[in-house]
Amino acid sequence: MCPPPNELYQFSVVSALMDGVASDGLPLSSLLEEGDHGLGTFRNMTGELIVVDGEAYQMRHDGTVVPAPGQPDSEGYHKTSVTPFAMVTKFAPSVTTTAPIQAKDGVEPVLARLVPDARNTHIAFRLDGAFRSITVRTAAGQCFPGEGLRDVASRQNELVIGPLRGTVVGFRSPQFLQGVAVAGVHMHFIDDDRQAGGHVLALETDGEVTVQVAELWRTVMDLPRGDKQFNEATLALNAEGIAAIEG
Amino acid sequence: MCPPPNELYQFSVVSALMDGVASDGLPLSSLLEEGDHGLGTFRNMTGELIVVDGEAYQMRHDGTVVPAPGQPDSEGYHKTSVTPFAMVTKFAPSVTTTAPIQAKDGVEPVLARLVPDARNTHIAFRLDGAFRSITVRTAAGQCFPGEGLRDVASRQNELVIGPLRGTVVGFRSPQFLQGVAVAGVHMHFIDDDRQAGGHVLALETDGEVTVQVAELWRTVMDLPRGDKQFNEATLALNAEGIAAIEG
């Protein structure tokens, strides 16, 4: 089935990751039927997921990048090809332009100017160009089932990569959806060679980058049915914790 | 188009009502394409909406009930046949039983027992039977555009009705969705003659009632596109305020 363009599809909620619900999830193959642009994580929070032009990649803790779902390997990465949390859309940007974005803080003001009528809904965006440097983190995975995102993130690997050309895939979500999604700007990066990337902590561009934006007014959200861990989780909203980790 | 059974369709979010976003919305006729069981409100928060067996009713502040969308009348109620917030589903209960539910507080434990694997997702439910009394409130509407739900609710009319036979249409939503929906149990009542009803504040049954429950694992949420009032609203989460009014 072909999803309509510019609907947000999300599996589970960020609050569930905060509570460590990551032992199971949606097969990557099912996720890719719902969109061609997006981000998320993998079983046990092993690395970062980026979906770009309909292809999914797992950006691992050791700095390597593999297509997902990939072939089984000696480390068993194929076992992680389910996602306990992801957001994707069939990306059909309504705006394509170039803009000087010097730093991560510069992304939001550009988006706000380009889609001023979408303050209180999700938007999907994409940046393409030359980056002087990108600081990325990749989650190393849970040490035990149920370990919360905050603890997983405390062991995150931070890498500064670049200069290189690549793509930022992101969403901006409204404040009132904190906990369901990540309020504010949430971005993953992958380079043109599909060799390096991660969750974006900081960026410096080399002049102007191409910016594409789509407003997403409809959300389809599936919650993890038949998932005992999800059913038994507390899932209290931890807005401050999410802002600290994902912002 | 016919929606699949037991998906939650929601238009807008409760946080928007809290901020007084109620000048526009989804036509009732469009809402009724998305489900046959549900609740919500009307333009300017004029009365309470209940959808039961595919029929929609407006339960007004003066205690009267009219089909919605109805015929234009001298008071202009036809103008309110758009909903700024509503939740509906095509209700296909997986459980039908009878249970003694003495009071409003007794509803949640019965639901929890009937669908123990749905703690962290929405459920839709319905109660049918004889009620000794029901305390309902009906919102009188905003005094000015943008007036928040808390102030509107402070002028609510409370009526004790019964004994009578009727139907409770409700949803139970998880805590982590407070602000998107109403966390906990949210119920509207209408009597068998479609003459009286409202948002349920208290109830006493006359012995056992029929209870029907469905688990809702997929949500489709539309946000108010092209709605200037929605776009300009702050929409901060006000969990405490919602619990005080809608609980």
Q: How do residues A183-223 score in pLDDT, each as one tens digit? A: 999 999 999 999 999 999 999 998 899 999 999 999 999 99
Strand, helix or coil for residue A228: helix
Q: In terms of residue numbers, what domain contains A22? A: 7-246
Q: How confident is the model at residue A81 (pLDDT cuts 50, 70, 90)?
A: confident
**Rounded distance between C-alpha atoms, residue A196 and residue A204, angstroms:** 16
A92 in a structural domain = yes
- Residue whose entry in the numeric block shows the structure tokens 């109403």: B182
B217–A222: do the CB atoms touch at under 8 Å?
yes
Distance from A117 to chain B by nearest Cα, in Å? 6
State how far the Cα of A37 lies from the Cα of B99, in Å rounded to an integer.
48
* Best B15, B223, B232 residue to mutate vs chain A (most A CBs within 10 Å): B223
What distance in Å separates the CA atoms of residue B68 and residue B57, rounded to the nearest whole number?
5
**pLDDT reading at A51 higher than 80:** yes
- ∠ Cα B28 B31 B34 (to 5°): 155
Q: Which residues of chain A make contact with B10, given a CB cutoff of 8 A?
A: none
Query: Is any Cβ of chain A less than 8 angstroms from the Cβ of B21?
Result: no
Is residue A123, in this structure, part of any structural domain at all?
yes
The percent of residues in chain B predicted with pLDDT above 70, rounded, is: 91
B226/A117 touch (CB, cutoff 8 Å), yes or no? yes
- Whether B73 has a pLDDT exceeding 70, the answer reads no
The whole-angstrom distance between B207's CA and the closest CA on chain A is 32
* pLDDT at position A69: 75
Residue B64 forms part of a structural domain: yes
pLDDT band at B247 (very low <50, low <70, confident <90, very high): low
Domain-embedded: residue A2: no
Mean per-residue pLDDT for A235-240? 70
| B174 lies within 8 A of chain A by CB | yes
Beta-carbon contacts of B78 under 8 Å, excluding residues fewer than 6 positions away, are B69, B70, B71, B72
Sign of the Cα pseudo-torsion (B52, B53, B57, B62, in order): negative
Query: What's the CA gap between A14 and A22, in Å, rounded?
Result: 11
* DSSP-based three-state secondary structure for A8: strand
Structure tokens at A137: 């983190």
Predicted pLDDT at A235: 87
In a domain, A56, yes or no: yes
Pairwise CB contact (< 8 Å): B13 & A176: yes
Give the number of other CB atoms < 10 A from CB of residue A175.
Answer: 16
For residues B244 and B247, give the distance between their C-alpha atoms in angstroms, rounded to a whole number.
Answer: 6
Interchain CB distance below 8 Å, A225 and B178: no
Judge whether A98 is closer than 8 Å to chain B, CB to CB.
no
A105 touches chain B (CB under 8 A): no
Could you say which residues from 115 to 134 on chain B have a Cβ atom under 8 Å away from some Cβ of chain A? 117-121
B2: confidence class by pLDDT, cuts 50, 70, 90: confident
* Percent of chain A whose predicted confidence (pLDDT) is above 70: 91
Predicted pLDDT at B218: 98
> Which pLDDT score, from 0 to 100, does residue A216 have?
98
In a domain? residue B2: no
Bridging pattern class, strands B55-59 and B65-68: antiparallel
The answer to whether residues A124 and A91 touch, using CB atoms and an 8 Å cutoff, is yes
Structure tokens at A108: 């939001």
Helix residue ranges, H only, chain A: 14-18, 28-31, 107-114, 149-154, 228-232, 239-246
Q: What is each CA distance from A72 to A45, A69, A78, A193, B82, in whole angstroms?
A: 18, 9, 5, 22, 53
Q: Do A176 and B237 touch (CB under 8 A)?
A: yes
- A156: pLDDT confidence band, cut at 50, 70 and 90? confident
- Residue showing tokens 């959300």: A219
Q: What is the pLDDT of residues A56-73, one digit of tens each?
A: 999 998 878 999 876 555
A139 pLDDT band, cuts 50/70/90, is confident
Nearest to B218 among A175, A220, A231 (CB): A220
Least confident of A70-84, A181-195, B133-147, B181-195: A70-84
Record: contact B226-A119, CB cut-off 8 A: no
Judge whether B1 lies within some domain: no
Q: Which residues on A lie below 8 Å from B121 (Cβ)?
A: 223, 225
Determine the 3-state secondary structure of B215 from DSSP. strand
Rounded mean pLDDT of B85-94?
98
**Cβ distance of B174 and A232 shorter than 8 Å:** no
What CATH number is given to the structural domain containing B48? 3.30.1330.80
User: What pLDDT is recorded for position A70?
Assistant: 61
- The residue type of A17 is L
Provide the H-helix boundaries in chain B: 14-18, 28-31, 107-114, 149-154, 228-232, 239-246
- Chain B residues lying within 8 Å of A117, measured CB to CB: 226, 231
A26 touches chain B (CB under 8 A): no
Mean pLDDT on A20-34: 94
pLDDT at position B81, please? 85
What does the block give as tokens for A7?
A: 């609907």
Inter-chain contact A175–B236, Cβ cutoff 8 Å?
A: yes
CB contact at 8 A, A188 and A49? yes
Residue in B179, B217, B221 nearest the CB of A223: B217
Cα distance between residue A41 and residue A67, in whole Å: 14
Q: What is the pLDDT of residue A237?
A: 66
Closest residue of A to B183, CA-based?
Answer: A236
Is A178 touching B (CB cutoff 8 A)?
Answer: yes
Would residue A241 count as lying in a domain? yes
* Residue A174 with chain B: CB contacts under 8 Å: 235
Provide CB contacts within 8 A for A178, sequence distance 6+. Answer: A14, A237, A239, A242, A243, B237
Instruction: Look at A220 and B217 and tell me if their CB atoms are within 8 Å.
Output: no
- Nearest CB to A217; choose among B118, B120, B222: B222
> Which tokens is B145 given?
């555009």
Taking the C-alpha atoms of residue A146 and residue B232, their distance in angstroms, rounded to an integer, is 39
The total number of structural domains in chain A stands at: 1
Q: Where in chain B does DSSP place strands (E)? A: 7-11, 26-27, 37-41, 48-52, 55-59, 65-68, 82-83, 86-89, 95-100, 122-138, 157-161, 164-173, 184-191, 197-205, 208-216, 218-222
